[in-house]
Structure 1
Amino acid sequence: MADGTDDLTDLIALMAKLPGLGPRSARRAVLHLIKKRGQLLVPLADAMQRVGANVRECLNCGNIAAGDICNICNDDRRANGEICVVEDVADLWAMERSQQFKGRYHVLGGTLSALDAVGPEDLRIPRLLDRVTSENVTEVILALGATIDGHTTAHYIADQLTDVTVTSLAQGVPVGGELDYLDDGTITAALRARRAL
């Protein structure tokens, strides 16, 4: 322990658990952090300490927040009657990057999955149903993945919401996409979602 190798081993093992990092990438990252101790390692450790102490899930929508309620839920300008339902916070952030959606969000925390025994009560679906009523929601936009579990979740939510307009994001050919490089499912979705020019 005196030479710090156990601490290094622990740090590498923890870093290797991060998405996109395996043991080799984690070792490289840790070595880089040690080389840049003053510029990266110490500030990173401090930032992680602050995030661990202060950041939590928004009690209303499930977004990441520095308090009990996130900035989006606290913004009265976004109380326009629209809620965009996403699977996780990364999806919310992707939607926000587009700067096109001006309503509020609801993070489910996953999708329904019979195989993994994930039911509606395991997600934030009951909270969504409460919000639709209490926030006078007029439209729920389902921005879920084009997977079997995503479609199952979307259909379940749509069945529960009978007094509100339920829409979903369009699916199909991406901007700049070439048909030759697309999978059959994407082409099928694009064909079904076609519209007049």
Structure 2
Amino acid sequence: MRPLRTITPPPIARLIEALVKLPGIGPKTASRLAFYLLRAPDEEVMALAEALRELKQQTRLCEICFHITDESPCAICRDERRDHGLICVVEEPLDVLAIERTGEYTGVYHVLHGVISPMDGIGPEHLRIRELVERVQREAPREVILATNPSLEGENTAVYIHRLLTPLGVRITRLARGLPVGGDLEYADEITLVRALQGRQEMG
């Protein structure tokens, strides 16, 4: 197979190579996207470029929950109508979006930005676990829901956090087993997530 740069102009080849690095994008899809953008109106392409620039320059992590936001604290943490005595701990910002889509959860969140995974060189110090412990000490919520994914890494992370929070006297619960083992919250349907939240159980 000939190298991409020998059969396409360098600007197109560079774009295809950049798109392939995105999750879920293979070489064929990247090529289709690149040629779509090549044919698209200038305004559409410039709008996309501007959106990408703003994504990097105007977003940050919330100082309280570490969700992605354009101002800190984020809208959820600022909302006085939310139940601030109920903290749902999730792996990634996408998990917040998945739970919010249910329209049933009224508490607040804490985003870890990953899970403990020794095989990948990710330890507790690489996540927002220390900040969670400090937050529980500071805010004294009545309940912390550990909503990490039902994978081996997610379960191990939940057990680790449970061990740290238990001495603080807070009620600690885990999502019910309605979620498939090894599945991700972001791909679960709303009904499954609602049932998992409603059926959450105390961690022993």
TM-score, L = length of structure 2: 0.78
Task: Kindly indicate whether structure 1 or structure 2 has the higher relative contact order, using CA contacts under 8 Å at least 6 residues apart.
Answer: 2
Does the Cα contact within 8 Å between 2:150 and 2:179 map onto a contact in 1? no
Moved over 4 A (4+): none
Which range moved further: 113-122 or 155-164? 113-122
Please state how far the C-alpha of 1:145 moved relative to its aligned partner.
Answer: 0.9
For the residue of structure 1 that corresponds to 2:63, the secondary structure is coil
Please state how far the C-alpha of 1:81 moved relative to its aligned partner.
Answer: 0.3
In structure 2, the CA distance between the partners of 1:157 and 1:173, relative to structure 1 (3 Å rule), is closer
In structure 2, the CA distance between the partners of 1:159 and 1:58, relative to structure 1 (3 Å rule), is same
For the residue of structure 2 that corresponds to 1:105, the secondary structure is strand
- The aligned counterpart of 2:59 is 55
Partner Cα distance (1:168, 1:139) in 2? 11
Does the Cα contact within 8 Å between 2:91 and 2:111 map onto a contact in 1? yes
Partner Cα distance (1:77, 1:87) in 2? 24
Which of 133, 146, 153 does residue 150 from structure 2 map onto?
146
Equivalent position amino acid for 2:174 in 1: S
Please state how far the C-alpha of 1:77 moved relative to its aligned partner.
Answer: 1.9
- The aligned counterpart of 2:29 is 25
Equivalent position amino acid for 2:19 in 1: M
Please state how far the C-alpha of 1:165 moved relative to its aligned partner.
Answer: 0.5
Query: Residue by residue, what CA displacement relative to the aligned partner does 1:159-197 show, whole Å, maximum 9, x if unpaired?
Result: 1112100111111378xxxxxxxxxxxxxxx9xx8xxxx
TM-score, L = length of structure 1: 0.81
The number of aligned residues is 173
- The aligned counterpart of 2:17 is 13
Identity value in percent: 41
Which range moved further: 164-173 or 11-20? 164-173
Equivalent position amino acid for 1:167 in 2: T
- The aligned counterpart of 1:169 is 175
5+ long unaligned stretches in structure 1: 175-189
- The aligned counterpart of 1:180 is none
Partner Cα distance (2:179, 2:89) in 1? 22
Does the Cα contact within 8 Å between 2:140 and 2:170 map onto a contact in 1? no
Query: Residue by residue, what CA displacement relative to the aligned partner does 1:81-103 show, whole Å, maximum 9, x if unpaired?
Result: 01100000111110111111111
- The aligned counterpart of 1:102 is 106
RMSD: 2.0
Partner Cα distance (1:68, 1:45) in 2? 25
5+ long unaligned stretches in structure 2: 1-7, 181-195, 200-204
